Structure 1
Amino acid sequence: MTKMMLRAAVVSLTALSSGLLFAPTPAVAQVGQASLRGTITAPADNPVVEVTAIEISTGLRRTVPADASGAYNFASLRAGTYRLEIKQRNGTRNSDALTLRVGQVAGLDLDLSAPAAPAAPAGTAEVPATGTAESGDEIVVTGNRIRSLSGGQVGSVISSRLIEQLPQNNRNFLAFADLAPGVRFIEDASGASRIQGGAQDSRTVNVFIDGVSQKDYVLKNGITGQDSSPGNPFPQLGIGEYQVLSSNYKAEFDQVSSVAITAVTKSGTNEFHGEGFYDFTNQNLRDRRPSEIFPTVIPKVDTSNKQFGGALGGPIIKDKAHFFFTYEGKRIASPYDVRPENGYPIASIPAQYQDNFGTFALQFKQDLYFGKIDIEPTDNDLIELSGKYRNESGIQNATGINAASTSTLNKVVDKRGLLRWQHTGNQWINDARLSYEDALFAPTPATDGITQFFQATQRIGNGIQRTDLLRAGGGGNFQTKGQKGWTIQDDFTFTGLQGHTIKVGAKAKFVKLNTLEQNLTNPEYTYDVNAIPGVAFNDTLPYKLQFGATGAAGQANVRSNNFQIGFYAQDDWDITSHLTLNLGLRWDYERTPSYLNYVTSAENIAAVSPANYPNLINADYNINDYISNGNDRKAFKGAWQPRLGFTYRFDDAGRFSMFGGYGRSYDRNQFDFLQQEASQGAYQVRTFNFIGNDSLNPCVPSQTCIAWNPVYLTAAGRQQLASAALGGGREFRFLNNDLKVPYSDQFSLGVRGRFSPVELEVGYTHIASRDGFAFLLGNRRPDGSFFFNDPADPGDVPQSPFSFSPNGYGSIILGTNGLKTNSDAVYFKLTKTYSAASPWSIDATYTYTQADETGKFGDTYLLDYAQLSDYPMLRSSGVPRHRFVIAGSVDTPIGVTFSTKFQIESPSYLKAFVDRSDPFTRELVGRQADSLGDLWGRRQLDFAFTKYVPLGFITDQTKIRMRLDILNVMNDRNYTDYNNSPLDPNYGQRSTYSTGGNAPRTIKLSAGFSF
């Protein structure tokens, strides 16, 4: 697309949106909205003229005409409880209350001509096939249970009751997303969480709140603010409910290739309501962690989790304007463990380093605010203004080899605002939205000073393994990254063509991406503790030194004024009363100027030229494919994404149906990868190796492979190194000039059935993701090869050519596309919704998944083979074969609500590289970890008991809430660390006592007040 075409597209979109914002034009269907359509049968002499949906809590009214057959279509309603006002030629009738869920596509037929049917027994959820009417003009009994017309989408809806009642630890509303097939919610030891779908990692996820994408374009977690943070993306009190889609979403969804989550926020109502809460637990309310028991019993580490907040909402003008505000805070001290990898005995490490091992506590603070005002100036208009502010700080570290001294001071600030106008016409709806975002992620080292990184190297049989032992000293994480900008989007829905709901939409985004990365401001010295014969633990002669330093070229703070634009069209076509097709197509485009306009420096070109680096003459790639003159890169224009789905209902009532679909969905290349090309010249990580100090991969003498001198422990010595080497020992980042955009192809097929009072679903999904981003090692040996087998050395094993870098420089790192994953899953889902007549609920999902991948799950730096095509497609190390999740609640006769959640999954899969001398091979091998008796890798059962006590003042709904959560009732120890050295006799066995984000049995006490 040319710049002229882009300008024309922006002008057109701006003109369209301006007209929609300031003129009486069409109204919206958006991500997260519900739709309701059907036919109302009436006597020929008293036909239905129009139908009005009235939201009971706010008085919001939406009116649509009925055609000659009585068909009506509400294409975009916010989730809530409604009644229908049915206007006939002679008189008006009203339905009972009906509830629409977030993202629900529902069908409801009524028959006003049929005689009244006998009432169903109390607590019976199944109902007649058609509605009935009383003889008067006042009440229509909603007899037909709402039909699902959701097409090939696979997922689940998490209701407000589930969010409120189910046991949980951190009040992250996304914690129940794993009730959807193929979705996992994962917490690490620091409390940082992520969503994962299929065989793809978290960067492929997108969350939409009130129809607005929360996508993180810079960092890896998929949602702004969630990278390496135990914080929550949104106050849980502000979420009404949300929908989780794990496969085959409609064309409205963009920038996602695995899990799409769409949430709707709460609004004020015609009555004032408020609530407050306080949650608390500490070390006295939990069992001992395994690391506090084994190998010896030690005192519990002081830990605490305090969460508190409140919400208030109500009318500004009854039926016309409402407000809602909420705040939630967190104050957490959480434990983490420092241990060597692979069960390496701490006793073998010198005493002066042993104090770095043990259990320590992290500190975290978060404040979350959300406010919303909605105005309904007419029966055809809805205006919403909302904003979110998130602020968090703390000391962060991760379970593993990193000592407490290497911790990071974390800082996250996330601000968002939304102005939305929805206008409804007779046969159309238009939704216009203007949103703003400003997200900042700024970690800094908690401690300054030299960093020491110790590794053990051992030859076992005909192979070699290296084990990480400890990183201690100064921290290395210094970054300032984020995104800021505006989005304008518009969705138009037309319902004037019988049997069709046609949606078209456009979105333009102007967002400035920003990165400043100056890691390793504290120099890091890496030691092979076995490098010196006769020395039990070498901590005096490092084999590698890495440190950051400013350079003369490039830009330290990389900024890119990105432009994104997307268009879609979607038709939900009721071909017959039994068959619905969902036909969609979208196209997305993005310009990233920092990548497209980048000019490779003359110094970089000279460094990898044949004159300076002849190793590339016979290499298996062309370095010119990675060198840019500023004009030879083009933005990807091929992101065409068909989205096709169907539902076939076997019976008139829609109780049994078959569904399926196919869809392609494009994601984005993470800016944190793309910026490295531009920033590496301004702030460079210098790498120097020292002769004879690495027993695994000895370096070849050069300007960056020299003899060790203790002066290099000083700042002056490091400057001497950088000045003496031609390129200062800095690494290169080269990006392919023809980068693709990651995408996934998704297929689904299944059946759904309603059996009073439960709903069942059985389905199959296939998801193939392609063109994932990865970094490769561009170094080659003098003959152009990656590996070299020396016949004169019978113990020679494959080694990546790290030491064969351009003279005076560090390694060549190449950025390209080509990562692949495949996921085939069969799932079974059972659902029973809570109701006042039947006060219990159940949501259960079993998923069996076979997944494979290139490399190891989540790896971006694939430096073990020359090309991505050299990596075998092996079983995924990030996806359990079996996973079962069940959640439920019940109101007991003694006035206590009991709720529970249970999850269990098969053991994790380990993968590692093995270098062998005979035969001369590098193999990627894998095996299942030895988990809990080989039966499961993770199991957790949680309970919650809630008691509401009415107080009888302020309002008749005033009450206090007392709650007891028992988390991990069976005190399962879900270990996370396993020996991943295939040559070790203990391969696959537990190597530490760390349990990641799985806490021991814990009691959480809660109290609340509401009115």
Structure 2
Amino acid sequence: MRRQDIVQRLGRLLLFAGVLAVLGGRGLVAQTTTGTIRGYVKDQNGAPLSGAQVQATNVATSVARSTTTGSDGSYVLPGLSPGTYDVIARHIGNSPARRRIVVQIGATLLADFALPAGAVTLAPVVVQAANPAETRTSEVATNVTPLQIQQLPTPSRNFLDLAVLAPGVTVTEDRIGGVSRTFTAGGQPSTSVNIFVDGSSLKNDLTAGGVTGQDASKGNPFPRGAIQEYRVISQNFKAEYQKASSAVITATTRSGSNTWTGSVLYGYQNKSFVALDSFQRATPKFSKPAYSRSLLSASVGGPIQHNRLFFFGAYEGNYQNRSNLVDFGAIPAGYPALTAVNFPQYNGNFGSPFRETMLFGKVTYAASSTSSAEVSFSNRHETDVRDFGKVNCPGFVCAFTEAVNYRQNVSIGQVRYNMFKGPWLNETKVDYSRFRRNPSPNTPGLPAQIYQWNNQDHVIGSNFSTQDFIQRRVGIRNDLTYTGFRAHGEHVIKVGASFDFVTYDVFKGNDETPRFYYRDTVTTRGLYGYATPYQLIYGTGNAKLKKNNNEFGWYAQDDWSPSPQLTINLGIRWDFESNMFNASYVTPQMVIDTLTRYNDSLPTPLDLSQFISTGSNRKPFYGAFQPRLGFSYALDPESRTTIFGGWGLYYDRSIFDISVDETLKLTHPTYTVSFADPDSTAKPGETTWNNSYFTADKTTLDALAHTSGKPEAWLIGKNVKVPRSRQWNLGVRRVMGGGDYTLTATLSAVRGENQLTLNWANFGLKPDGSCCVSFDLGPHGFSNFIYSANNAKTWYDALQVQVDRPYRRSANNIGWGGGISLTYATRSLQGVDGLGDVFAFPNALNIPHHPANDEKTHIVANWVMDVPYASGFLFSGLITLGSGFLQDVGCPLRFCGAGYERGGFTPERVGFIIPNAFAYRNVDLRLAKDFPNISGTTMRVTLDLFNAFNYQNLGCFDTGSKTNLSFGHASCVVSDPRRLQVGAEYTF
């Protein structure tokens, strides 16, 4: 039997097993959104107590869960919603004991009980302190607590900001003029991450960014006021997590309790609160552009029916009024055509508003002592008018008419039903999500004009493209946990399956705004003098595509404790998608004919059996089996010192946008039309200019493009691979200071592979490695043949050290908590020039293993503390330090020859406590004052100071050549200058 047949049959077997898990499971709550308490109940002499009852009662809702101990005295309470619990252990003939324990999302906490001989029933309980630290996990994970979410300074209330508390995780800088917020980890691109909210995946199948709504958006993926807490798992996450080969964030939302509570928050910042950076100060007569930002948040939650039915709702708003300066500067003299354009009419400050509104609602029902249900809905809507002036402009400067209106909408609805009885725990979840990404010209209907001088583009007219991506997902998930199996120790066995039925609706009208290019002289073409365009770029045709994709995942895992000090985590996961790469695509006959006829003439001849798709020969990938192994071993009975480690294989997915272009590059091609100079006769391949061509009318332009331009053909291989990573880690965790401090040191390694790249078949390198030899496809009806490969790889090796102290008040009612993390890492890649690149010119095989442009040392510190002798004052902060990003000197050898040095430049380093250690420094501070409690309500005022010391973190370095006088000089800053933000919050 062929290996492929074996794999497919095994896949079908797992699919059948998954169906049984969904349809026949007796119930579970996934660890993706909950926590676990486990431990042993013994008598005063250390003998195990079999049949003891252990009950955990949620302090906020009075909802209780209970279990009984096994013959060895062990117990497990999985699937607990994060929160504070009173845990009571009882056994006939012994006095009961109680602990108050804070359960965190994704965490497994140890709570052992020693019950002295005594009363048979309701004697007074013995209160014992619980170890607050999670010591026995094999995951490389960091929990972001409710206190940190509420109190640490973050500029725009984006809950992603605090993911930086996890070692090895990088979050895009939050800037006033920023356009994107993503996070990365493990030396892999942002497409490799995932976020789970209440167990629902926010994976973006369609476009980049990894998470729905984060592709080219500065918005918040979820309302921060609705997030209770979250966990960042940067490595060795268990088999229940899917669609990520890098880090995952799993978050749980807030719920109502037995007391009605709520809050209203407002934060404000304007241009008067923002300092100037060094480049702005050096600009004569620089005037701050208009800017203001209002952050609003409101939430309310409480009982609809006491102890049974609860409601929680939240609203979040981020409303920014920015403006960008448009200044075309000095216009070259002596060109009447340029004078006639009247560029000064486009100069000035123009508004760039950003609007984001988010809503969340949730109803929780404690149906009985053994079941619960939950219904929730969230919506995120945003618009962003941007990409003009010199901010993210596709040129040197763009007129306001070139702005894009970036619209996004993300809606998620979810129904969960949980059942728990004895050792069984089950959760069934059904969810629906809709994600829409819709950038379009803010001023439509104008031809775009690009005037080129001083090697720079100056753009007027409409934005180039209109896109409308819609991803709809209906998901069903069931997880089943069983804690009653004991064989050579205690087992927590968990299996689960998920089905997602996904629809992709795509409209990708790239380049539908005609772009006319002007310049004085075009080499080998003639003298134009800006009077007529020398080139037109224009896209037309059918820009629509609709496809379905069915996604299935199945997993099984066993947390096995052969002894109280050793836990082994065994897991296996399998994922399958029916249409990740547009399996029904049929290569057009004109592409087949040209490829067949001229394949041997191409610098990179292709295996035609791989790249000609018949609509049935591009099979789905059945081999996404992902074994995962972890362990933790406590060196002492109290688990104060623990050694842990893990290894695993993790499959991600390729974004569907690449497969979209395989179709649309031919049904909606972009044409390039070359115009003859006004004083010459058109040569072969050129068209004589006519003023009637300067229009946005599709009829005229379609006729012109089809007679002159050539489309581009994309070819996705039939055996295209799915990106994946191999991860392993080994670490030690130590609880110190009577349980106040936790020190963790981890050696981590990640190897990413099979990352998809796009290559040119009609270009190749010369024998000496320089660029390029080519085959002109123009006479044969095409501009390029672009083919796929899976040659991109990444390497990540790191030492990660973390010290944490949870916030805790002392006897004098003064409390503090904090932490610090250090990452020392090396990152490298192969097959692409930069992390996250898809295109590899001319092909990935010509780009060798080389250092990634990233920094080696990164430190993040945080703290929250009561101010001594100042009642009601709370002081918190976040410090970020980095050694600076390595940067290449020159350009790649294949383009520029000698003088190229990978990672050959490091920015100048300055001091922060340690002399000459850091090229990046940032200190964010917050001071909050709570006014006296009046009738159960509290008023708070806050002052946030971001980049408090106004550090100038330089960027845009000249790294072209070490012989340049300006080599190493910066021309921008990579973080905003000092900013003040004021706020107020009312809670009840």
TM-score, normalized by length of structure 1?
0.87
Deviation string, structure 1 residues 846-878 (Cα, Å, up to 9, x no partner): 11110011223245343423x31210111112x
Q: Supply the distance in 2 between the matched residues of 1:389 and 1:851 (Cα, whole angstroms).
A: 37
Residues 843 and 701 of structure 1: CA distance in aligned 2, closer, same or farther (over 3 Å): farther
8 Å contact kept, 1:40–1:112: yes
Q: Which residue of 2 aligns with 1:431?
A: 427
Q: Which residue of 1 aligns with 2:607?
A: 622
Secondary structure of the residue aligned to 2:27 is coil
Q: Which residue of 2 aligns with 1:105?
A: 108
8 Å contact kept, 2:501–2:549: yes
Indicate yes or no: 2:537 matched with 1:549. no
How far 1:359 moved relative to its partner? 7.2
Secondary structure of the residue aligned to 2:610 is helix
Residues 71 and 4 of structure 1: CA distance in aligned 2, closer, same or farther (over 3 Å): closer
Q: Which residue of 1 aligns with 2:844?
A: 868
Q: Which residue of 1 aligns with 2:148?
A: 162
Indicate yes or no: 2:414 matched with 1:418. yes
Secondary structure of the residue aligned to 2:540 is strand
Residues 321 and 454 of structure 1: CA distance in aligned 2, closer, same or farther (over 3 Å): same
Which of 625, 632, 635 is 2:617 aligned to? 632
Secondary structure of the residue aligned to 2:307 is coil
Q: Which residue of 1 aligns with 2:829?
A: 853
8 Å contact kept, 1:190–1:336: no
Q: Supply the distance in 2 between the matched residues of 1:635 and 1:750 (Cα, whole angstroms).
A: 38
Q: Which residue of 2 aligns with 1:793?
A: none
Which of 956, 977, 985 is 1:977 aligned to? 956
How far 1:418 moved relative to its partner? 1.0
Q: Which residue of 2 aligns with 1:687?
A: 672
8 Å contact kept, 2:756–2:789: yes
- The equivalences for 1:567-582 within 5 A come to 567-582=554-569
- The equivalences for 1:144-163 within 5 A come to 145-146=131-132, 148-163=134-149
Q: Supply the distance in 2 between the matched residues of 1:576 and 1:478 (Cα, whole angstroms).
A: 61
Identity %: 26
Question: In terms of mean alpha carbon deviation, does 902-911 or 286-295 score higher?
Answer: 286-295
Q: Which residue of 2 aligns with 1:370?
A: 360
8 Å contact kept, 2:97–2:126: yes
Which of 802, 806, 815 is 1:833 aligned to? 806
Secondary structure of the residue aligned to 1:596 is coil
Residues 18 and 861 of structure 1: CA distance in aligned 2, closer, same or farther (over 3 Å): closer
Residues 495 and 529 of structure 1: CA distance in aligned 2, closer, same or farther (over 3 Å): farther
- The equivalences for 1:607-618 within 5 A come to 607-610=594-597, 613=598, 616=601
How far 1:920 moved relative to its partner? 6.5
8 Å contact kept, 1:209–1:264: yes
Secondary structure of the residue aligned to 1:625 is helix
Residues 8 and 661 of structure 1: CA distance in aligned 2, closer, same or farther (over 3 Å): closer
Which of 644, 649, 657 is 1:659 aligned to? 644
How far 1:771 moved relative to its partner? 0.8
Give the aligned residue type for 1:377.
A
- The equivalences for 1:957-976 within 5 A come to 958-976=937-955
How far 1:259 moved relative to its partner? 1.1
Which of 547, 550, 564 is 1:560 aligned to? 547
Q: Supply the distance in 2 between the matched residues of 1:338 and 1:804 (Cα, whole angstroms).
A: 40
8 Å contact kept, 1:51–1:63: yes
Which of 211, 222, 229 is 1:241 aligned to? 229
Indicate yes or no: 2:971 matched with 1:992. yes
Deviation string, structure 1 residues 666-714 (Cα, Å, up to 9, x no partner): 0011011111112223222112456899xxxxxx9864x6677776545
Q: Supply the distance in 2 between the matched residues of 1:245 and 1:307 (Cα, whole angstroms).
A: 29
Q: Which residue of 2 aligns with 1:385?
A: 375
- The equivalences for 1:272-291 within 5 A come to 272-290=260-278
Indicate yes or no: 2:909 matched with 1:908. no
Q: Which residue of 2 aligns with 1:882?
A: 857
Secondary structure of the residue aligned to 1:315 is strand
How far 1:317 moved relative to its partner? 1.5
Q: Which residue of 1 aligns with 2:87?
A: 84
Q: Supply the distance in 1 between the matched residues of 2:836 and 2:683 (Cα, whole angstroms).
A: 31
Residues 229 and 90 of structure 1: CA distance in aligned 2, closer, same or farther (over 3 Å): same
Q: Which residue of 2 aligns with 1:670?
A: 655
Which of 866, 878, 884 is 1:891 aligned to? 866
Q: Supply the distance in 2 between the matched residues of 1:533 and 1:489 (Cα, whole angstroms).
A: 63
Q: Which residue of 1 aligns with 2:214?
A: 226
8 Å contact kept, 1:968–1:1002: yes
Q: Which residue of 1 aligns with 2:42?
A: 41
How far 1:46 moved relative to its partner? 7.9
Q: Which residue of 2 aligns with 1:121?
A: none
Q: Supply the distance in 2 between the matched residues of 1:873 and 1:45 (Cα, whole angstroms).
A: 57
Which of 716, 724, 731 is 2:707 aligned to? 724
Give the aligned residue type for 2:712.
E
Q: Supply the distance in 2 between the matched residues of 1:313 and 1:650 (Cα, whole angstroms).
A: 44
How far 1:903 moved relative to its partner? 0.3
Residues 239 and 539 of structure 1: CA distance in aligned 2, closer, same or farther (over 3 Å): same
Indicate yes or no: 2:501 matched with 1:524. no
8 Å contact kept, 1:787–1:801: no
- The equivalences for 1:803-818 within 5 A come to 804-805=777-778, 807-818=780-791
Deviation string, structure 1 residues 518-540 (Cα, Å, up to 9, x no partner): 01111224467674599999645
Residues 803 and 527 of structure 1: CA distance in aligned 2, closer, same or farther (over 3 Å): farther
Indicate yes or no: 2:32 matched with 1:31. yes
Indicate yes or no: 2:492 matched with 1:501. yes
How far 1:472 moved relative to its partner? 3.9
How far 1:186 moved relative to its partner? 0.7
Which of 978, 981, 985 is 1:1001 aligned to? 978
Residues 259 and 6 of structure 1: CA distance in aligned 2, closer, same or farther (over 3 Å): closer
Give the aligned residue type for 1:860.
D
Give the aligned residue type for 1:38.
G
Give the aligned residue type for 1:968.
N
8 Å contact kept, 1:907–1:928: no
Give the aligned residue type for 2:153.
P
Deviation string, structure 1 residues 437-486 (Cα, Å, up to 9, x no partner): 011011101234233446679xxxxxxxxx65444432113100021021
Q: Which residue of 1 aligns with 2:447?
A: 450
Q: Which residue of 1 aligns with 2:321?
A: 333
Q: Supply the distance in 1 between the matched residues of 2:402 and 2:117 (Cα, whole angstroms).
A: 75
Residues 251 and 604 of structure 1: CA distance in aligned 2, closer, same or farther (over 3 Å): same
Higher-RCO chain (CA-CA 8 Å, sequence separation at least 6): 1
Q: How many positions carry a matched residue from both structures?
A: 945
How far 1:4 moved relative to its partner? 10
8 Å contact kept, 1:830–1:843: yes
Q: Which residue of 2 aligns with 1:737?
A: 718
Q: Supply the distance in 1 between the matched residues of 2:11 and 2:625 (Cα, whole angstroms).
A: 17
Residues 989 and 295 of structure 1: CA distance in aligned 2, closer, same or farther (over 3 Å): farther
8 Å contact kept, 2:190–2:210: yes
Secondary structure of the residue aligned to 1:148 is coil
Q: Supply the distance in 1 between the matched residues of 2:656 and 2:879 (Cα, whole angstroms).
A: 38
Question: In terms of mean alpha carbon deviation, does 908-917 or 589-598 score higher?
Answer: 908-917
8 Å contact kept, 2:859–2:881: yes
Residues 915 and 891 of structure 1: CA distance in aligned 2, closer, same or farther (over 3 Å): closer
8 Å contact kept, 1:797–1:921: no
How far 1:347 moved relative to its partner? 8.2
How far 1:384 moved relative to its partner? 0.9
Give the aligned residue type for 2:664.
S
Secondary structure of the residue aligned to 2:22 is helix
Q: Which residue of 2 aligns with 1:947?
A: 929
Residues 689 and 774 of structure 1: CA distance in aligned 2, closer, same or farther (over 3 Å): farther
Indicate yes or no: 2:189 matched with 1:201. yes
Deviation string, structure 1 residues 599-650 (Cα, Å, up to 9, x no partner): 111122233331xx46646634334421111111111111111111111111
Residues 156 and 863 of structure 1: CA distance in aligned 2, closer, same or farther (over 3 Å): closer
- The equivalences for 1:580-595 within 5 A come to 580-592=567-579, 595=582
Q: Which residue of 2 aligns with 1:938?
A: 920
Q: Which residue of 1 aligns with 2:401?
A: 405
8 Å contact kept, 1:199–1:851: yes
Give the aligned residue type for 2:401.
S
8 Å contact kept, 1:36–1:105: yes
Q: Supply the distance in 1 between the matched residues of 2:208 and 2:626 (Cα, whole angstroms).
A: 23
8 Å contact kept, 1:827–1:846: yes
Deviation string, structure 1 residues 152-209 (Cα, Å, up to 9, x no partner): 3112110010011011110011100011011011135325311111211111110011
